[in-house]
Amino acid sequence: MTALRRFGLLAPLAALSLAGCGLNSVPTAEEQVNAAWGNLQSEYQRRSDLIPNLVATVQGYAKQERDVLIAVTQARADAGRVQLSAEDLDDPEKVRAFNEAQSRVTQAIIPLQRLQEAYPELKSNANFLTLQSQIEGTENSILVGRRDYNEAVQAYNTRIRTFPDAIGAKIFYGAKPKVPFEAASGAQNAPKVDFGNAG
């Protein structure tokens, strides 16, 4: 009876100590990272889906701006080839490659959107204005999504490295830090847009 009683007293204590070792909090934090990543992926997909429509609309007006249209189409295609799954979020090289591919799309879109300065009739084209507005909104959503993802990564990485959750993170889950998004190389430089020969 004494051993059973002792076990009865130790069982809640053991459960409480396990609960404080990240048994539940680590997977919860990882799911928050995965959810933030899923939301960000959907914004990247939305942008990718909008680009062909914007390119097609601009093509009718800006026939000689072929290089800009090719650059946007190529950047979109290249970004589509760089895949990053939730399982890859702890691989810095894969995250960097994905981030740089998506940044090239952003940089390619800017001159395309500025074509309306060289082609005033684009300003009155409802399709162009709607698509441009949707892409600008999507770019803003991507920025918010990246911030939310980075915040979730920071919370997860802090949790798996601090006591007591670090114990459960290593022993039960073999948790590795997730990689936040950083500004892609050259992101600090403003894109150069030149439509001097347009007309």
Q: Where are the domains of the chain?
A: 31-149
Q: Is the pLDDT of residue 176 over 60?
A: yes
> pLDDT digits over 131-145, tens only?
888 989 999 999 999
**CA atoms of 175 and 155, how far apart (whole Å):** 13
Highest mean pLDDT: which of 49-58, 60-69, 72-81, 183-192? 72-81
Cis peptide before 52 (omega within 30 of 0): no
> pLDDT digits over 9-45, tens only?
555 544 445 555 678 899 999 999 999 999 999 999 9
**CA atoms of 149 and 44, how far apart (whole Å):** 13
Model confidence, pTM: 0.75
* Predicted local distance difference test score (pLDDT) of residue 124: 67
- Superfamily in which the 31-149 domain is placed by CATH: LemA-like domain (1.20.1440.20)
